[in-house]
Amino acid sequence: MTDTFTSPPYAGRGMRHRGRPRRSLAPFLAQLAIWSGAAGVLALWWSDTTAVVGPAGWLTGAGRITGLLAGYACAVLLALMARIPLLDHTFGTDRLARWHALGGRCTVSLALSHTLLIVWGYSLTSHTNVVSQASTLVFRYPDLLKGTIGFLLFLATGVLSARAARRRMSYETWHYLHFATYLAIFLTFGHQLSNGADFVGSRLAQVAWYALFLGVTVLVAWFRFTVPVRRGLRHRMRVAAVHPEAPGVVSVYLTGEHLDELGGRPGQFLRWRFLAPGLWWTANPYSLSAPAHPHHLRITVKTAGGHSAALAHLAPGTRVWAEGPYGGFTENRRTAPKVLLLAGGVGITPLRTLFETLPGQVTLVYRARCVEDLALRGEIDAIAAYRRARVHYVVDEPVGYSSPLTAQGLSSLIPDLAEHDVYLCGPRRMTQAATEALRAAGVLAHRIHHESFEF
């Protein structure tokens, strides 16, 4: 089923369209900084190593290197998820989350390699078996028992973060399990300074390590804890009303003070903490579903778990703390004069704000299971009429009215599809299928913009 509004495109003001992508050096510079730090860590080992002799020396040396890199990687992981606005708005939360996930797997692998190599190398040096040597290290070396506990916490977090395990737990449970990594880093930090051959007796190395971890700790404490508390006290947000939009979908209207200072841009999201029984202990990410206003905000949420289901029953006056705004899913990603917004289900929420605010020729394709699931349809129709834009509603039921999510199906709706930037938001399977279809239709990879909420 397709409804189409066709008229001359709305002419936005003050927008200079660019036919070529605005390539940023930021990702390159960020990765250069990370790898330069890793090179510095290797230089620390090199400067403190006079010779490597025999199998025991090679194993122990490799264990020292992997231990140093694992410690450095911990600092990088914390920095990536410290919610630093400059990083978040430049790269996007989902890209930082992917880097964090990849870095986490590398960190666990390095820590495991460090443990095995050191135990094996020391056992060859002392001519004992690895079990006896492991026991000696854990219980007789200073801070190694704490370091072992920290390593086991890292290992457990890594296992629980695997995709198969992640799908079996709620977002809230998974989120709070990650706080164990803070304890793990604290426990292993002392072990490195007490036992690491590169730190014992080297004041410069100790100062550099303290500076690295204290700097990251300050960033985490400021952006993840201090800033949200300050904003909660300043903006004094409360729930104004809750309205149903579609089956299992509600809009939560919020009021507050100085909301213009939040700076939420169309396409961005915030992490919302509702100070109500059962909800206050977690902050979940939800996109703004209407452009930010100095005195009120709105989010639209689909029931997908206990937290989102409880929002339908929020009482007016409930206090709210918001962290953000986050994400790079904004107008800044645009590279072409024409834009396609492709939404699936509740993925319409950030695209609805972009549909209202993006200048130039904008087309919206909104896919849902049935007509009743088309949330915010009245607003979308009003925006389309006002700016004379095209809207295609595509539903799966009744059978026969759906347009397939293929290159041919999308091209039938948008004949010049390859000339568009595409903003894509929806369920994971839908976005994967849409990305493949768009690429097959000739849309360049740098023109497909997507921000996942799987973090």
* pLDDT reported for residue 5: 30
Which of 238, 235, 286, 233 shows the shortest CA–CA distance to 259? Answer: 235
C-alpha–C-alpha distance, residues 341 and 6, integer Å: 16
* Distance between CA atoms of residues 23 and 449, nearest Å: 14
Q: Between 3.40.50.720, 3.40.50.80, 3.40.605.10, 1.10.340.30, what CATH number should domain 335-450 receive?
A: 3.40.50.80
Q: Tell me the pairing of strands 448-450 and 361-368.
A: unpaired
Could you give the CA distance from residue 301 to residue 287 in angstroms, rounded to a whole number?
A: 9
The residues, any chain, with a CB within 8 Å of residue 309's CB and separated by 6 or more, are 303
Question: How high is the pLDDT of residue 253?
Answer: 96
What is the tens place of the pLDDT at every residue in 198-251? 787 788 888 989 999 999 999 999 998 898 888 888 899 999 999 999 998 999
Confidence check: pLDDT of 19 > 70: no
pLDDT of residue 159: 79
- The domain ranges of the chain are 26-230, 236-326, 335-450
pLDDT single digits (tens) 172-207? 676 677 778 888 888 888 788 877 777 877 888 889
Average pLDDT of the segment spanning 277-286? 85
- Cβ proximity of 374 and 393 under 8 Å: yes
**Is residue 350 predicted with pLDDT exceeding 60?**
yes
Find the length of the chain: 455
* pLDDT at residue 18 greater than cutoff 50: no
Supply the pLDDT for residue 76.
Answer: 92
**Interval 101-158: pLDDT, tens:** 888 889 999 999 999 999 999 999 999 999 999 998 888 888 888 888 888 988 888 7
Is 193 exposed, middle or buried, given 0-12, 13-18 or 19+ CB atoms closer than 10 A?
middle
pLDDT at 358: 93
Interval 11-31 mean pLDDT = 53
The DSSP bridge partners found for residue 343 are 366, 425
In this predicted structure, what is the pLDDT of residue 213? 92
CATH class of 236-326: mainly beta
* CB-CB contact of 288 with 350 (8 Å): yes
Better-predicted residue by pLDDT, 379 or 53: 379
Asked whether 73 and 103 are in contact (CB, 8 A), the reply is: yes
Per-residue confidence band for 165, with pLDDT thresholds at 50, 70 and 90: low
pLDDT at 301 over 60: yes
- With a cut of 90, say whether residue 400 has pLDDT above it: no
CB-based contact 259:296 (threshold 8 Å)? yes
171 pLDDT higher than 70? no
Percent over 90 (pLDDT), the chain: 40
Integer CA distances (angstroms), 87 to 94, 97, 288, 328, in order = 11, 11, 20, 10
**pLDDT score of 441:** 92
Would you say residue 355 has pLDDT above 50? yes
Rounded CA-CA distance 367/393 in Å is: 6
What average pLDDT is seen over the chain?
85
Amino acid at 174: W
